[in-house]
Amino acid sequence: MAAIDQLSVNTLRGLAIDAIQKANSGHPGLPMGMADVAYVLWTRFLGYDPAWPDWPNRDRLVLSGGHGSMLLYGLLHLSGVDLSLDEIKDFRQLGARTTGHPEVGEVAMVETTTGPLGQGFANAVGMAMAERMLRERFGAEVCDHRTWVLCGDGDVMEGVCYEAASLAGHLELGRLIALYDDNSITIDGSTGLAFSEDRVARFGALGWHVQVVDGHDHGQIASAIKAALVDPRPSVVCCRTIIGRGSPNKAGKSASHGSPLGVDEVRLTKQNLGLNPDEHFAVPAEVVARFRERDAERASSSAAWKQRVALSGRSAELDAFLSADVSGWLEDVQWPSYEAGASVATRKASGAALAAVAAAVPSLVGGSADLAGSNCTYLPGGGDVTSRDFQARNIHFGIREHGMASVCSGMALHGGVRPFCGTFMVFHDYMRPAVRLAAFMKLPVVYVYTHDSIFVGEDGPTHQPIEHLMAMRTIMGLTVIRPADAAETAVAWKVAMERSDGPTALCLTRQGLTVLDRTVMGPAEGLARGGYVVSEASAAPAMVLIGSGSELALALAAQVELEAGGVSTRVVNLASWELFDAQDRAYKIEVLPAGVPRVSVEAGITQGWERYVGLEGASVGIDRYGLSAPGKQVAQALGLSVEAVIEAARGLLV
């Protein structure tokens, strides 16, 4: 190994251990162990331009083990990608961009927010899928980059990684390359405590090209990467590394994984690496020069790409695909319409709206977890994505809910496509970690959740969501919408597609719902404000009934009887708490006037509804698991009825 290569790698290690020691917090093991692999990739193979860090045709590099963030920060600083040494010194401090785990949007070329293990790996699969789709549409002269992921034992143990890797192998994502930090150490000690499977055989069985190298031998690393570049399968290079390499007393031990080395060990480590133990955050000029010696070549590559795009005559089209804002295309959507009184399940209305959106928005792609027919998520005429056809738009994710959601996040992060995915609402539990991160990253993914209540019926309690609506509402940044009829479902899709700063969950019925007569009730467009008056009281309201989704019908039926009994009653549809809470105070008071008793009705837990009905109000819902029987029988047995709403309202008037 050339002396400059060794100095460069050890400078990366030195920056990591100094920053972590100064913060008295962090994970030095991964940056020290994977420094050789990352250095070879970054300086010899990674396609990027530090002067244009968000170049659309750059390679994507995902650090799936986000706890090793100082490795990525060191690479970015040494490469001149808008990250100063002072920010390195401020690692993990309040207000610093150098957060403990990398966060997308904070530092350029941090491609995704990682931390929960396995998520970054799955995101990378989504990025590779988006790249293939753009490549098929625009050609290699416009889209010609790769997706790289640095992962470790913790990632590979997580189920989401297996789900995503299985899909990647099936789709033959040959431009996806994983560099696996195979160091056999986790927090508790040796991986042998819980992990003895043959990872080489496993990835091979999943359809991956697999190689094993010494992760500290630059020649072996480079040769393996070259072989991966020409293999048509997704590739994983198992890099046998020593965690905490260079530390005399902690290398190869779990002690180096998640804690600072300690002042004395930092000094010994620097001496062992040939660094000055009395110098902190040292960045030799020759190392900077090494990292930046190909900058002219990189600038030339990005400039040539820009020229190719201009000559292709498709620059405007590409910009439209890369933009998360699809409002221009939405102007051309031919939204479906419905006759008042018709019975239409909102899942079917969603399917019609989705087809209409897809006809106008060419970047829309997605699918479901083996439930396309039930979720109504299949795009007519869209074709099926296969290893041989990435011009198609229907993705068969298989029964992999967690992987599906994480892959969709990766697609959104890459840009060029607007992803959606679907499953039964009860299986949101399998997706929640990925949905939470999508909300954190403000990704415009649409989740289609059907079979949204106990009206699933005979499938029984395992498939009847009870606490799920409220659980989704606790995810900050996720907009949850539960439309009450077909017309509102179209509006919900419009709202979801207009969002470019966060994900949306559409919660839809299996059973038919009566299409409301909008000539006598509030317009369906009111859903865009989250809550609105659907049916006004005959006089100043003495009671407000609040419903969502299928239970709005119960509130409307109860209103009729209450009005007949002399109780002036208003019915409000609170289809989306998030959209309603975003309205100004005056509008919210106009819809829910102060001092008027309120009753909520929803097929789910009542916990949380006190936010809108107050402690003096009442909530009709389901605070237990469901039953196996026809849906209407289940609802009656669990007290979800017009009579229950009326009784609750009258109880507040006593």
Nearest to 595 by CA among 547, 652, 654, 538: 652
- Parse the chain into domains and list their residue ranges: 3-297, 327-514, 528-653
Helix (H) or strand (E) segment spanning residue 420: strand 418-424
Q: What is the mean pLDDT of the chain?
A: 98
Q: How far apart are CA 505 and CA 472, in angstroms?
A: 8
Confirm if 99 and 19 have CB atoms less than 8 A apart: no
Q: Looking at the predicted structure, is the pLDDT value of residue 403 above 90? A: yes
Q: Which positions ≥6 away from 512 have C-beta within 8 Å?
A: 343, 344, 345
Q: How far does CA 291 lie from the centroid of its chain?
A: 32
86: tokens are 């002072």
| Burial of 262 per CB tally in 10 Å (0-12, 13-18, 19+) | middle
Query: Region 90-97: what's the mean pLDDT?
Result: 98
Q: How far apart are CA 530 and CA 522, in angstroms?
A: 13
Pick the CATH number of 528-653 from 3.10.450.50, 3.30.310.10, 3.30.1330.40, 3.40.50.920: 3.40.50.920
Strand runs (DSSP E) across 499-594, as ranges? 504-507, 512-514, 531-535, 543-547, 569-574
Q: How far does CA 492 lie from the centroid of its chain?
A: 20
- pLDDT class of 1 with cuts at 50, 70, 90: confident
Q: pLDDT digits over 506-561, tens only?
A: 999 999 999 999 999 999 999 999 999 999 999 999 999 999 999 999 999 999 99
Q: How far apart are CA 294 and CA 109, in angstroms?
A: 18
Count how many residues are written for the chain.
654
Q: How far apart are CA 423 and CA 398, in angstroms?
A: 11
Tell me the backbone φ, ψ of residue 289, rounded to 5 degrees.
Answer: -60, -40
| Domain 3-297: assigned CATH number | 3.40.50.970
Confirm if 80 and 86 have CB atoms less than 8 A apart: no
Q: pLDDT digits over 127-161, tens only?
A: 999 999 999 999 999 999 999 999 999 999 999 99
Q: How far does CA 417 lie from the centroid of its chain?
A: 14
Helix (H) or strand (E) segment spanning residue 646: helix 642-653
For residue 338, count other CB atoms closer than 10 A to its CB.
Answer: 18
Q: pLDDT digits over 355-399, tens only?
A: 999 999 999 999 999 999 999 999 999 999 999 999 999 999 999
Indicate which residues carry an active-site annotation.
401
Q: Looking at the predicted structure, is the pLDDT value of residue 654 above 90? A: no
3-state secondary structure of 312: helix
Query: Region 226-234: what's the mean pLDDT?
Result: 98
Strand 512-514 vs strand 343-345: parallel, antiparallel, or unpaired? antiparallel
3-state secondary structure of 620: strand
Angle at alpha carbon of residue 321, lines to 320 and 327, rounded to 5°:
55
Q: Looking at the predicted structure, is the pLDDT value of residue 89 above 80? A: yes
For residue 512, count other CB atoms closer than 10 A to its CB.
Answer: 17
Q: Do domains 327-514 and 528-653 have the same CATH topology?
A: yes
Q: Looking at the predicted structure, is the pLDDT value of residue 119 above 80? A: yes
Per-residue pLDDT at 94: 98
Topology of domain 327-514, per CATH? Rossmann fold (3.40.50)
3-state secondary structure of 578: helix
625: tokens are 């698991």
59: tokens are 């390679």
